[in-house]
Amino acid sequence: MAVDAEQRRGPGYRVETTLLCLLLLGIVVLATLQIVLRNFFSYSLFWADELIRLAVLWLAMVGGVAASRDGRHLAIGIVERYFPRPWHRPAATTAALFAALVAGALAWQGYRFVADAYAYGDTVLDGWPAWIFQSVIPAGFAIMSYRFARQALALARGRE
């Protein structure tokens, strides 16, 4: 389900898009800096590799949230391709509902993962609590679940 231009202009759209761009730019700049430092100066920033891994996690989750916003997430088009037109809406509704349930389950498991990291005192980047950086996992999947549920409801009501 594609999003109309009105929804794209909202603050959430700008925040997600800006965050995606900044994360990608930061990853590219930091990785390039690491390569230059290692190859030409035999030096590296000890925290850069871990920060890049965390930024990739954030990039993946924010990218997934943005994809669910724009209706550009992974989808299987078998129904549209092989079934008659009257089946399209019920199948799309079922698929969106299933995606909402799966994303909700992943949000719950992500929450459990972050809670464990908090309980065990896991740290990253030389002492920062890991749960702060990992909290993007349950938050991202919860937002995706919400968006898929809204999409399923809109499809069930006959609005696309």
Inform me whether the pLDDT recorded for 6 exceeds 70: no
pLDDT in tens, 101-136: 999 999 999 999 999 999 999 999 989 999 999 999
Q: What are phi and psi of 123, to 5 degrees?
A: -130, 155
Token readout for 117 is 């990291």
Q: What is the pTM of this model?
A: 0.85
pLDDT for the residue numbered 7: 52
Give, in order, the Cα–Cα distances in Å from 53 to each of 20, 33, 69, 154.
Answer: 15, 15, 24, 37
Question: Any residues with CB less than 8 A from the CB of 27 and at least 6 apart, and which?
Answer: 52, 55, 56, 59
What 3-state class would DSSP assign to 84? coil
Q: Which DSSP helix (H) or strand (E) runs through 54?
A: helix 48-70
